[in-house]
Amino acid sequence: MSFLHRVCAALARARVRYAVVGGYAVALHGAVRGTVDVDIVLTWRKESLVRAEQALLEIGLVSRLPVSANEVHEFRREYIENRDLVAWNFYNPTDPSEQVDVIIAYDLANGRTQKVQTEQGPISLLGRRDLIEMKRESGRPQDLEDVRALESLG
């Protein structure tokens, strides 16, 4: 099972509403895009963060920062506004190429998702229109390239 599918399966088992949003999402929507890490967004509730943290720990990932889900939830605004932290990173200490970024600057509460069925199982993606909007708002060069690629799909 691929790393992406292990992450998605763990989140599903933990009953976490999530959506893949990074390079994997762009590629699964049909645009050419390479990536290594898995970027996800969650519904911004403490319970969602706690369940996601537990799910990621259960598949062998650890937080890069010495913070817990409760702290990320409580200090979200501080992290974003004063520390330029937009993602909470988890990684596999035995295979550093396995990384997940939980994007804390986005709330999936009003986001539209779509399920993509793959040979290895379902993956929840942020819908294309919402993904384009999210990436446009970030303004990062790679995200703006992703916007162009996604919009060119028609």
Number of Cβ within a 10 Å radius of residue 62: 12
DSSP secondary structure code for residue 66 in this structure: S
In a domain, 116, yes or no: yes
pTM for this model (two decimals): 0.95
Tell me whether residue 91 is in a domain. Answer: yes
Give the pLDDT of residue 34: 82
CA 15 – CA 68 distance, rounded (Å): 19
Question: Domain range spanning residue 15?
Answer: 3-145
pLDDT value of position 59: 98
Confidence at residue 20, expressed as pLDDT on a 0 to 100 scale: 98
* Count of structural domains within the chain: 1
Return the CA Rg of the chain: 15
Q: What is the pLDDT of residues 74-122, one digit of tens each?
A: 999 999 999 999 999 999 999 999 999 999 999 999 999 999 999 999 9
**Residue 40, domain CATH:** 3.30.460.40
Count of CB atoms situated within 10 Å of the CB of 78: 11
CA–CA dist 146, 144 (Å, integer): 5
151 C-beta neighbours (distance < 10 Å), count: 12
Rounded Cα distance between 5 and 150, Å, is 23
